[in-house]
Amino acid sequence: MIIVLKPRATKAQIEAVIREVRKLGYKPHPIIGVERTVIAAIGDERAHHTLETLTAMSCVDQVMPVQRRYKLVSRETNTRGSTVKVCGHVFGGGNFQMIAGPCSVESERQILDTARAVKKAGATFLRGGAFKPRTSPYEFQGLKEEGLRLLSLAKKETGLGIVTEVLSEADVDLVAEHADILQIGARNSQNFALIIAAARTGKAILLKRGMSMKIEEWFLSAEYILSQGNPNVLLCERGIRTFETLTRNTLDLGAVALAKAETHLPVIVDPSQGAGRADLVSALCKASAAVGADGLIIEVHPNPKEALSDGAQQVTLAQFEKLMKDLKPFLAAAGY
């Protein structure tokens, strides 16, 4: 860390800061300038107390990290990029995985019809919410345990791996019994107690970016998972809230390119929540491939008009089949 002192700090003040730095477990290296003094504090932040408290001293202007705050997810720790293997499918390493299925699991018929169709069209994983995070308490909250049972049935039928959201710490073990990938949703992506509990299952975690989350905060949430000893993290960009109203969210593909450059984790794009409009999904899939994503998660429903959640953004089974065909040349051009 670098501690920048205010201009004209006195010798006694500089010495007081140096003493504090030592007390917190770091080795101080003062650089005395004409106007300002800067103190480099050498030591690993993970093993020592935080130096940020020094900003409380009246002579301290700023305390700045020299290294990134996300150490384990940083690409510096794995320059080639990591891979996450789930159900025999590899995320990262030049592979492109397709996760598809309804926003919510609604019935046996709905999930089985969707699972068979998306598998036939080339999807490798089935998504479907059993526990749904709805803005209003009066909206469909998901079939919960019954939904999980139906997902397991669909897996048995089709062999597709299961991706489903876990909403609460209390349900982590139950959801992990049925899911191959645990989804941490946008509304929970800084719910650290939930993230830690999910990480401890050892299952792969699809970590959505929160709708008002800075990219660094998203990486730090991933850091929570890695620091629990679980390396199986998939970052997922799903759109952020901006001033725009013609789309539900603003899909931040710049964040995808940045996440690929800054971290070693595979990155997935969710164009369904990203735009909130079924007619934009196919174009955003192509753009995701071009920007270096390692896969997509897409909402697909046999009859979107009657969907119990997110009807406007779900593509039909036929639209999904076409989307997969249309995507092919773009994947080839992007080198997948």
Site for Mn ion, rule CB under 5 A = 103, 310
- What is the residue-wise DSSP string for 123-179? -SEEE-BSS---SSTTS----THHHHHHHHHHHHHH--EEEEE---GGGHHHHHHH-
Dihedral angle of Cα 140, 305, 156, 168, to the nearest 10 degrees? -20
Q: Which does 302 bind (CB under 5 to 8 A by kind): ligand PEP, Mn ion, none?
A: none
**Cβ distance 27 to 43 under 8 Å?**
yes
**CA-to-CA distance for 215 and 210, rounded, in angstroms?**
9
Stretch that binds ligand PEP, among 3-11, 49-57, 136-144, 179-187 (CB under 6 A): 179-187
Nearest distance, CB of residue 47 and Mn ion, angstroms: 41
Angle between helices 317-333 and 108-121 (to 10 degrees): 30
Instruction: Provide Rg for the chain, Cα atoms.
Output: 23
Nearest distance, CB of residue 187 and ligand PEP, angstroms: 6
Asked if residue 208 binds ligand PEP (CB under 6 A), the reply is: yes
Asked if residue 72 binds ligand PEP (CB under 6 A), the reply is: no
Which of residues 28, 92, 101, 129 is near ligand PEP by CB under 6 A? 129
Asked if residue 186 binds ligand PEP (CB under 6 A), the reply is: yes
Nearer residue to ligand PEP within complex by CB, 124 or 273? 273
Angle between helices 278-291 and 253-262 (to 10 degrees): 30
Q: Which does 134 bind (CB under 5 to 8 A by kind): ligand PEP, Mn ion, none?
A: none
Q: Which does 161 bind (CB under 5 to 8 A by kind): ligand PEP, Mn ion, none?
A: none
Element (H, E) at 118: helix 108-121
Which of residues 103, 175, 205, 281 is near ligand PEP by CB under 6 A? 103
Q: Which does 133 bind (CB under 5 to 8 A by kind): Mn ion, ligand PEP, none?
A: ligand PEP
Structure tokens at 286: 């192509």
Q: Which does 185 bind (CB under 5 to 8 A by kind): Mn ion, ligand PEP, none?
A: ligand PEP
Nearest distance, CB of residue 238 and ligand PEP, angstroms: 4
Q: Which does 102 bind (CB under 5 to 8 A by kind): Mn ion, ligand PEP, none?
A: none
**CA-to-CA distance for 160 and 157, rounded, in angstroms?**
8
**Cβ distance 118 to 320 under 8 Å?**
yes
Dihedral angle of Cα 297, 250, 70, 169, to the nearest 10 degrees? -60
Which of 235, 250, 330 is closest to 287 using CA atoms?
330
Asked if residue 185 binds ligand PEP (CB under 6 A), the reply is: yes
Nearest distance, CB of residue 336 and ligand PEP, angstroms: 23
Stretch that binds ligand PEP, among 5-13, 23-31, 185-193, 251-259 (CB under 6 A): 185-193
Nearest distance, CB of residue 251 and Mn ion, angstroms: 14
H helices then E strands: how many in the chain?
10, 14
Which of residues 25, 30, 122, 133 is near ligand PEP by CB under 6 A? 133
Nearest distance, CB of residue 93 and ligand PEP, angstroms: 25
Which of 218, 271, 214 is closest to 248 using CA atoms?
271
Per the listing, tokens 């959801």 go with: 175
- What is the residue-wise DSSP string for 73-93? SBGGG-TT---EEETTEEEBT
Nearest distance, CB of residue 312 and Mn ion, angstroms: 10
Which of residues 191, 221, 263, 273 is near ligand PEP by CB under 6 A? 273
Asked if residue 248 binds ligand PEP (CB under 6 A), the reply is: no
Nearest distance, CB of residue 270 and ligand PEP, angstroms: 6
Nearest distance, CB of residue 147 and ligand PEP, angstroms: 12
Contact residues toward ligand PEP (CB under 6 A) are 103, 129, 133, 185-187, 208, 238, 270, 273
